[in-house]
Amino acid sequence: MAQKKKLLQGNEACVEGALYAGCKFYAGYPITPSTEIAEGLSVRLPKVGGKFIQMEDEIASIAAAIGGSVAGLKSLTATSGPGFSLKQECLGYACIAEIPLVIVNVMRGGPSTGYPTGPSQADIMQAKWGTHGDHPVIAVTPSYVQEILSETVRAFNLAEKFRTPVIVLYDEIIGHMREPITIPVPGELEVIDREKVTCEADEYFPYDERYEIAPLAPFGSGYRFHVTGLNHKKDGFPTNDSKQIDANNRRIMRKIENHKEEIWKNEETFLDDAEVVVFTLGSTARSARFAVNKAREEGIKAGLLRPLTIWPFPDKAITELSKRVKAIIVPEMNLGQMTLEVERCSKKADVVGIHRVDGEPITPAQILDAIKKHK
């Protein structure tokens, strides 16, 4: 099968990515600027026998998607800021019940209704801390339309592999931007499917501690078990035993923590000899790339570190980098969410934030100015 070239919008690429990954269930609620994902899947999913449902609200959407996943289908829901806020309780449920799920959040200006048609990157911390309680989070952050496709596939893979919700986080600019992309042929990108349960029914425990991540049997497959948002034992039933609560809470964190190297994905440009490094994601990384190239043309040793996984935070890369560069510049369309994290991880380098919350993108010129100031 030959590769297909298409001119697609970011949100349309997300649809392609979901289908490539084998998504068979979508539940959502209309919200700008993510609605094109729902519109696209409402057409495409039924063609492959998949299920599309428009639910009554954002909460119902993620709840139904979790239900679809428990029933064995790769499930997706997509939203934007206010909807992402509403989904937080269910997100925590998927974390503790360990249900694979992909949630796309196309970031718009906030807080509240904010600036629905304008971009932002102000949900970075919400993606990590939005739901209550300690919980693991994986969030991937594409910068290009092509990458929205491939990162959506990676999100499904991570969700299935680690039995956890994964967030695809990108801003409105790339959500609505059109770029020519290549639709990968089957086999070109890795697709991870849910591990099949093969043991005897009476030997199956959905949270079996003999595994770091026990396989999840779909409902109706002959393995009758219990799922709850309460702290639970290996059989899924609630427990008040402090030892078990502690063990389970730590295990769900550890299953991500222990595999950070595998989950992290950074793009490094000119880092070998860099003295000033820009650390940024999403559409801002596109401005940053332009600025870094310009700086290099002018003889400034600038580099770019672009995380495609923002959670778990790429602390190791930042810490190592901070020991050998003068400054890390962190442009972001918020008032300093990533900057805070970079400050936490930076050992020696100065950390310089560039913040913008007026609904306009951060320009290459702004970043170039900062590079020059801190070279």
Partner 1 sequence: MSTAAPEKKEKVVQPFDYDKYLRPNKLPHIWCPGCGHGIVLKALLRAIDKTGLPKDNIVMVSGIGCSSRTPGYVDFNTMHTLHGRAMAFATGIKFARPDLKVIVVTGDGDALAIGGNHFIHACRRNIDMTVLVYTNATYGMTGGQYSPTSPIGSTATTSRYGNIEPPFDTCEMAKASGASFVARGTAYHTIELERTIYDALMHKGMSVVDIIDACPTYFGRMNKYKSATQMMEILEKDNTVNIKQADKLPPEKLQGKMLRGVLHKVDRPEYCDQYEEHVIKKATSKE
The one among 117, 228, 250, 360 contacting partner 1 by CB under 8 A: 228
Between 218 and 336, whose beta carbon lies closer to partner 1? 218
Task: Count CA atoms within 13 Å of residue 204 on its CB side.
Answer: 18
Q: Can you tell me the distance from the alpha carbon of 185 to that of 9, in angstroms, rounded to the nearest whole number? A: 19
- Contact between residue 59 and residue 87 where contact means Cβ atoms under 8 Å apart: yes
By CB under 8 A, residue 89 contacts partner 1: yes
- Measured at the CA of 252, the angle between CA 140 and CA 245, to 5 degrees, comes to 150
Between 115 and 225, whose beta carbon lies closer to partner 1? 225
Q: Which residue has the tokens 């300093």?
A: 336
Minimum distance of partner 1 from residue 19's CB (angstroms): 13
Residues near 139 by beta carbon (within 8 Å), at least 6 away in sequence: 124, 127, 128, 166, 167, 168, 169, 309, 310, 311
Given the rule CB under 8 A, which of 15-23, 43-51, 181-189, 360-368 is the region that contacts partner 1? 43-51
By CB under 8 A, residue 96 contacts partner 1: no
Minimum distance of partner 1 from residue 53's CB (angstroms): 6
Q: Can you tell me the distance from the alpha carbon of 26 to that of 49, in angstroms, rounded to the nearest whole number? A: 12
The one among 7, 230, 335, 365 contacting partner 1 by CB under 8 A: 230
Q: Which of residues 56-85 bind partner 1 (CB under 8 A)?
A: 56-57, 59-61, 63-73, 75
How many Cβ atoms from other residues are within 10 Å of residue 161's Cβ?
20
By CB under 8 A, residue 55 contacts partner 1: yes
Q: Which of residues 22-41 bind partner 1 (CB under 8 A)?
A: 24-25, 27
By CB under 8 A, residue 167 contacts partner 1: no
By CB under 8 A, residue 270 contacts partner 1: no
φ/ψ (deg, to 5) at 254: -65, -35
Strand partners, 329: 278, 352
Cis peptide before 312 (omega within 30 of 0): yes
By CB under 8 A, residue 220 contacts partner 1: yes
- Measured at the CA of 262, the angle between CA 256 and CA 264, to 5 degrees, comes to 85
The one among 6, 51, 355, 372 contacting partner 1 by CB under 8 A: 51
Minimum distance of partner 1 from residue 241's CB (angstroms): 15
By CB under 8 A, residue 53 contacts partner 1: yes
Q: Which residue has the tokens 């591990």?
A: 195
The one among 178, 226, 323, 348 contacting partner 1 by CB under 8 A: 226
Q: Can you tell me the distance from the alpha carbon of 156 to that of 191, in angstroms, rounded to the nearest whole number? A: 8
Amino acid 348 reads K
By CB under 8 A, residue 49 contacts partner 1: yes
Minimum distance of partner 1 from residue 312's CB (angstroms): 25
Size of the site for partner 1 (CB under 8 A): 45
Between 49 and 187, whose beta carbon lies closer to partner 1? 49
Minimum distance of partner 1 from residue 84's CB (angstroms): 16
By CB under 8 A, residue 275 contacts partner 1: no
Q: Which residue has the tokens 């249900």?
A: 99
By CB under 8 A, residue 93 contacts partner 1: yes
Minimum distance of partner 1 from residue 236's CB (angstroms): 9
Q: Which tokens go with 160?
A: 């299935």
Cis peptide before 111 (omega within 30 of 0): yes
> Which residues sit at the interface with partner 1, rule CB under 8 A?
24-25, 27, 43, 46-47, 49, 51-53, 55-57, 59-61, 63-73, 75, 89-90, 93, 218-222, 224-230, 237-238
